Amino acid sequence: MTDSKAIISLEGVNIFQQDNLILSEVNFEIHPGEFVYLIGSTGSGKSTLLKILYGELKIEKGIAHIAGFDLAKLKKSQIPLLRRKLGVVFQDFQLLFDRDVFENLNFVLKATGWKNSAEIEHRIKEVLEMVNLSTKSHKMPFELSGGEQQRVAIARALLNKPEIILADEPTGNLDPQTSDELLALLHQISSTGTAILMATHDYRILEKFPADIMRCEGGKVLNLKLLNQFNQSSEQ
């Protein structure tokens, strides 16, 4: 039985890439303000699971909902509408290097239906303040450090006030100090009610910034929080 308040709800989902079954019988829920790490070895299915959630891949079996969308019935024309409710952050930033920070964010807002110039300017100023880049709006991406570029990517993800941010190895190209700063920012964002699902192989940050954990392993997604609860109850 799924929880109607969950932002993400998967029940009995099989995930394929082409004809290959990557993950089977996936079951989990994520609620507003929850921070969940998605861990697992390279090739275990972390990125494939995220692609299902933002509509890049279709599910073949099971029940899956995210931000009010039924992924099993999602039409291609609905994918842009889905992505307005999500924020997606990638390891390689994916910024437009031929335009400055402001124009990177302006491009996304216009592409998602914003038309009022004053409202666009106000929203861009808001998100840059949230990621501590207020003075960088007219810098080109190549003038920024890797950490600053990833902060721009997070600002971009926040533009449409998403219900959840999906982050795929967002610290993968960053040094430990910059990674810590980024994790502190993401945890701060989740404390305001935006859920975050973050794929990572950096187990150091799991100890420094603890949160719920799911592991992709052996074609399954294991909810370690539930496993720990089960183990604790069986020991009593």
CA triplet 184, 86, 40: central angle to 5 degrees? 60
- In this prediction, residues 63-82 reach a mean pLDDT of 92
Q: What pLDDT, on a 0 to 100 scale, did the predictor assign at position 160?
A: 93
Residue 19 within any structural domain of the chain: yes
Residue 3 within any structural domain of the chain: no
The percent of residues above 70 in pLDDT, for the chain, comes to 93
Task: Read off the CATH number of the domain in which 66 is found.
Answer: 3.40.50.300
Give the list of residues 6+ apart from residue 35 with CB closer than 8 angstroms, or none: 186, 187, 190, 195, 196, 198, 211, 212
* Torsion angle, alpha carbons of 185, 222, 17, 52, to 10: -50
Q: What pLDDT, on a 0 to 100 scale, did the predictor assign at position 228?
A: 54
The pTM of this model reads 0.89
Residue 93 within any structural domain of the chain: yes
Structural domains counted in the chain: 1
Which comes out higher in pLDDT, residue 8 or 232?
Answer: 8
Residue 143's pLDDT band (cuts 50, 70, 90): very high
Q: What is the pLDDT of residues 80-136, one digit of tens each?
A: 889 889 999 988 878 999 999 999 999 999 988 899 999 999 999 999 999 999 999
Q: What pLDDT, on a 0 to 100 scale, did the predictor assign at position 127?
A: 96
Residue 150 within any structural domain of the chain: yes
Is pLDDT at 4 greater than 90 in this prediction?
A: no
Domain carrying residue 133: 8-235
Is pLDDT at 1 greater than 80 in this prediction?
A: no
Q: What is the pLDDT of residues 39-58, one digit of tens each?
A: 998 889 999 999 999 999 98
Residue 2 within any structural domain of the chain: no
**Angle between the 146-158 and 101-111 helix axes, to the nearest 10 degrees?**
30
The tokens for 82 are: 């889905």
- In this prediction, residues 169-177 reach a mean pLDDT of 89
Q: How many CB atoms lie within 10 A of CB 83?
A: 19
Q: What is the pLDDT of residues 193-227, one digit of tens each?
A: 999 999 998 889 998 999 999 999 999 999 886 54
